[in-house]
Chain A
Amino acid sequence: RKEVEQDPGPFNVPEGATVAFNCTYSNSASQSFFWYRQDCRKEPKLLMSVYSSGNEDGRFTAQLNRASQYISLLIRDSKLSDSATYLCVVNPNNAGNMLTFGGGTRLMVKP
């Protein structure tokens, strides 16, 4: 079993739709969690951190479920510009050298 697993997609959704991705992790001692966005042929960029209490940034909501060992990303009112690959990142020890990346979930928002 991979340490961090994501459905690779692609998720094809119409503009305005709500879409959710999950990411499961195997290390129950993991300390911090992130969602990164990666556009085609570009570097990953931080979308949002994921806190135990959940957090929201505009149309984006991230949740952490420690009991079931997954994090989720919800995108409401999808825009064409949301089309990208979303990477789940798990940090077991907050030291950086153990960061584990999921393979990414590709989202395509269609007009």
Chain B
Amino acid sequence: GAVVSQHPSWVICKSGTSVKIECRSLDFQATTMFWYRQFPKQSLMLMATSNEGSKATYEQGVEKDKFLINHASLTLSTLTVTSAHPEDSSFYICSATRQRNSYEQYFGPGTRLTVT
């Protein structure tokens, strides 16, 4: 159990367009979901934390108007990269927890975004 999926697994978009990435908990209800960004050979950088039904909490330096996060249900969170630029190209990973404030996170396989 505790499977998290992401869709799409990879996406290529043109500069200036928006792209949406979905994160789903398939067999459990996720009270909290996290969105990370990972650069090559670097650590996972937490972008934001979202709890179902409330606004996401963004980390310092992350533009909330550019990276829109919606956690509309207990099994789905979406990350929308608006007006994408080449520097937004990265690997985006989501995770989910069963219990609020739990460290036990279940990770999705990630989404590779390339902006041309």
A, B co-complexed: no
